[in-house]
Structure 1
């Protein structure tokens, strides 16, 4: 996997151009309140999701004011199999394109061969292709 940091403007220009330059480009978890407050003014949150428990803790923490966040991916981009770290509310608004979600019941997590790396609190999963092919023992 290749990770490269770009300014948001550069990433959006690259996405708009498309082609090989945009292949695999994914804008991940950009905080609207902290990094794009002007855009947040134009986002209407569904009422069910407008109260996030991360914003209602007694003591402030590093995520108190970071939600909601922005993700942008090119055609055929995908996220790896994962558990959202806060197990909280999640909503998604598609501006264009389609997204396929695969959701597993928590009771079936052991079938997905999770491992918890040293010093981490959340499981890491092998790729779905490896699980489907039998390359990984669950």
Structure 2
């Protein structure tokens, strides 16, 4: 298996689909069969309830600040989820672990640029380190 590049994002899978245990290809096939275009891996409409992006990065010096345990460092997984109320939740974990922690500052308002842009900004912030918090919306 080819290792993922740091900050690579997995395809978007609606939480309801993932919870049901249906694999992403089956969901894409069902969408295509219904006449809708197949989803583009890594991107989805920002207003779709339950959309969750997952990506990997190495925390920079100073790591990422969490609400539950303070700073975490090393190889981290970030999940960014559209809460369908105009906000998004950002959670992090040590890659491969079971426990998820709330990234400090989460939830945040969903920016006009969308969920994917927020996810990219959070990955960049964690990669930069310095006790990274959830990205603030543009002023």
Larger radius of gyration: 1
Higher helix share: 1
Does TM, scored on the shorter chain, surpass 0.5? no
Higher strand share: 2
Please give the TM-score of this superposition, normalised by the length of structure 2. 0.29
Please give the TM-score of this superposition, normalised by the length of structure 1. 0.29
